[in-house]
């Protein structure tokens, strides 16, 4: 599993949020959440979901460190809806989001929602080794099924999962017509963290709809893959006031080597 490092940026004070428009929708969402089905206890996620499969191993510790950093940054401003994105595909944003969501739910016992916002190339259900035909966000946006049918909850952790599902219309068209800002406010009433696995920023315009409703944005770059020219383009697209930090995926620096030696020396003495 790749090592991770995060460079955090200093954040400004948050702007005042708009008042929530009434309570009817909020109560309806609470009822829907009470009806969601559980993830199967017998599921066997992909090995790269280390926070799910090997939470006590060295690889998962990197995500714990990242989670602690994010918790600490909450002292500077409200961070509930965190969009995790990258400049291009294959930089590891989806794996970062899934592992971080599980670690956060275990670390603080807070209510965490992992929302798969990449309707073009969803990967979550495949990595959980569950049916990729299961309904999700896309089905709900197209009004094919109620919200409770599109979400699942972990049987033992305070983690909820909303996969991308399937779409028949162009994803950008669906997101443009959805009232994402109102919906986001409702979700933040129910969850302590909403982690959105958003599409990459450079090839698609969809990600802009997610970053527009975010409290903060976490950018994933991959060592030996992300080009400097791409990184510059991404930084021009993201509002610097929203960028909470950059995660370096597949890091092979001295910090990773030191931690590996420390971890395994401690293990050998146990």
- pTM for the model stands at 0.84
| Banded pLDDT at 255 (limits 50, 70, 90) | very low
- Proportion of the chain above pLDDT 90, given as a percent: 47
Are 82 and 175 in contact by the 8 Å Cβ rule? The answer is: no
Write the Ramachandran bin of 94: left for phi over 0, alpha for psi from -120 to 50, otherwise beta. alpha
pLDDT above 70 as % of the chain? 83
Collapsing DSSP to helix, strand or coil, 85 comes out as: strand
Average pLDDT value for residue range 92-109: 93
pLDDT score for 25: 59
CA distance 139 to 149: 9
Q: What CATH architecture is 3-9+54-269?
A: 3-Layer(aba) Sandwich (3.40)
Mean pLDDT of the chain: 82
Mean pLDDT of 137-151: 92
**pLDDT confidence bin for 226, thresholds 50/70/90:** confident
Domain-wise residue ranges, the chain? 3-9+54-269
Looking at residue 26, its pLDDT comes to: 61
The number of residues making up the chain comes to: 270
The yes-or-no verdict on residue 149 having pLDDT over 90 is: yes
Reduce the DSSP state of residue 136 to 3 states and report it: coil
| Interval 156-171 mean pLDDT | 94
Angle (CA) 2-77-18 rounded to 5° is 120
Among the residue ranges 48-52, 114-118, 152-156, 173-177, the one predicted with the least confidence is 173-177
Decide if 251 contacts 5 (C-beta within 8 A).
yes
Angle at 163 between CA 48 and CA 73, to 5 degrees: 70
- Reply yes or no on whether the pLDDT at 270 is more than 60: no
């Amino acid at each position: 599993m790749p090592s991770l490092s995060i460079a955090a940026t200093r954040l400004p004070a948050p702007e005042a949020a708009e008042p929530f428009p009434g309570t009817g929708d909020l109560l309806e969402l609470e009822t829907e959440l009470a009806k969601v089905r559980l993830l199967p206890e017998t599921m066997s996620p992909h090995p790269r979901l280390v926070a799910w499969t090997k939470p006590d191993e060295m690889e998962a510790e990197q995500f714990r460190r990242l989670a602690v950093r994010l918790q600490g940054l909450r002292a500077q401003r409200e961070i509930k809806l965190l969009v995790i994105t990258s400049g291009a595909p294959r930089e590891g944003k989806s794996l970062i989001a899934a592992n971080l969501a599980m670690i956060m739910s275990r670390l603080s016992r807070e209510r965490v929602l992992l929302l798969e916002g990449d309707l073009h190339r969803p990967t979550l259900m495949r990595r959980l080794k569950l049916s990729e035909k299961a309904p999700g966000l896309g089905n709900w946006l197209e009004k094919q099924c109620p919200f409770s049918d599109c979400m699942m909850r972990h049987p033992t952790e305070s983690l909820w999962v909303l996969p991308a599902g399937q779409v028949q219309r162009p994803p950008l068209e669906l997101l443009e017509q959805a009232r994402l800002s109102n919906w986001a406010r409702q979700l933040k009433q129910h969850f302590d963290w909403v982690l959105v696995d958003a599409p990459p920023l450079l090839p698609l315009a969809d990600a802009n709809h997610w970053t527009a409703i975010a409290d903060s944005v976490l950018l994933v770059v991959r060592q030996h893959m992300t080009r400097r020219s791409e990184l510059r383009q991404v930084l021009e697209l993201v509002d610097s006031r929203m960028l909470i930090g950059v995660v370096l995926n597949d890091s092979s620096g001295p910090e990773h080597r030191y931690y590996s030696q420390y971890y395994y020396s401690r293990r050998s003495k146990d």
